[in-house]
Amino acid sequence: MRFVDEYRDADRARVLAAGIAALCEPGRHYKFMEVCGGHTHAIYKHGLEDYLPEAVQLVHGPGCPVCVIPMGRVDDAIAIARNPDVILTSFGDMLRVPGGHGSFLDAKAAGADIRMVYSPLDALKLARRNPDRRVVFMAIGFETTAPSTAMTVLRAAAEGVQNFSVFCNHVTIIPAIKAILDSPDLRLDGFIGPGHVSTVIGCRPYGFIPRDHGRPLVCAGFEPLDVLQAVHMLLRQLAEGRAEVENQYTRVVPWNGNHRALEAINRVMELRPYFEWRGLGFISHSALRMRDAYAAFDAERIFQVPGVRVADPKACQCGEVLKGVLKPWECKVFGVACTPETPIGTCMVSAEGACAAYYNFGRFTRQRTRKASRA
């Protein structure tokens, strides 16, 4: 299959692995953060760490939209769903995310009408079919999914659908990366930039990373050779004394982003003064809310939302995992009390969660094999 098979070629992977090893300075250790959860899953699904020398360590970042949702926002959504005339709609990976008083599935079992949808347009369709019910869409995701939410609101407004609203939890990636760079807990040599987000915002917004922090960033795709090439490009920059933003994912990511998608977001939404992120705390201007012009579609203005901050369970270390401070297998409950069937934290629930990636692909310890990198 074009754009798949050629990016999974084992011989080319070995060539890249040899090039990576050759670029490593003797005695130096490198730590790169893959911001996107999709990269984390690609790394462990395809065993890419086994192609890297010991000197190169990959750590995961906060690029999983489900994982960064704080427990209080889950409780807020459940409070909305408990209104007798409400249908709460959500993507499937949010259904088992634990809040302070259970998950969406728990609330559904208790009588709330909560339904899974594949897009906000499905929620709008439900609103048309149920004019006597108020349909709320639980909007999550980075700039990747925000355009579809914005376009759905614009369609609802154009069609005069008055029983549809959005509980907006869209977050933005740049403030999160700034928070990571300002954190004293982690020292990074570079970033593997998020591919999906960059299809919307482009590569230009990352310019502050090399300019202000002297760290390179490479926007990368999600196939095995994409990730390995991104690591090679980062190491080459460091070896040449450069720190720049480069685009490995040129077949998908435009340098200046998707203007029509950005225009739709800007028309319907605006930045919040601050927003709570799991593990990172409150970050200013890091999330989106509905503009006043679309207040009629803002569930936070239509319904009474508790807005209570809920602390994570003491046993859960999702915050440290999301910041790249801990590997999942270093968490005391990983794979024991916390599994995909009985998740304690969001990182084990989401399809893009780091803990789910480690669990599903058998990474329960530090142990790695080196056959590929020696080949």
Q: What is the mean pLDDT of each run of 10 residues along the chain (375 residues)?
A: 81 96 97 94 92 95 90 96 97 92 95 98 98 98 97 98 98 95 87 97 98 97 97 98 97 97 98 91 96 98 92 85 88 90 86 88 60 40
- Integer Cα distance of 229 and 233 in angstroms: 6
Q: State the alpha helices, DSSP H only, in the chain.
A: 10-23, 37-45, 71-81, 104-109, 120-129, 146-159, 173-182, 195-201, 208-213, 224-239, 259-268, 299-302, 318-322, 354-360, 371-374
Q: Is 104 part of any domain? A: yes
Instruction: Report the candidate in 258, 83, 298 with the shortest Cα–Cα distance to residue 169.
Output: 298
- The pLDDT of residue 369 is 42
Q: Which domain holds residue 290?
A: 71-173+257-302
- The pLDDT of residue 178 is 94
Q: Is 53 part of any domain? A: no
- The pLDDT of residue 222 is 95
* 221, 224, 231, 254, 302 from 43: Cα distances, Å: 12, 7, 12, 24, 43
**Helix/strand/coil percentages in the chain, nearest 5:** 40, 20, 40
Q: Is 318 part of any domain? A: no
Q: Is 281 part of any domain? A: yes
- The pLDDT of residue 54 is 94
Domain tally for the chain?
A: 1
Q: Is 370 part of any domain? A: no
Q: Is 209 part of any domain? A: no
Q: What is the DSSP letter of 183?
A: -
Instruction: Report the candidate in 114, 117, 91 with the shortest Cα–Cα distance to residue 104.
Output: 114
Q: Is 221 part of any domain? A: no
- The pLDDT of residue 361 is 86
- The pLDDT of residue 92 is 94
- The pLDDT of residue 73 is 95
List Cβ neighbours of 139 (8 Å cut-off, separation of 6 or more): 120, 145, 146, 149, 166, 167, 168, 169, 170
Q: Is 23 part of any domain? A: no
Residue 167: give its domain's CATH number: 3.40.50.11740
- Integer Cα distance of 264 and 249 in angstroms: 24
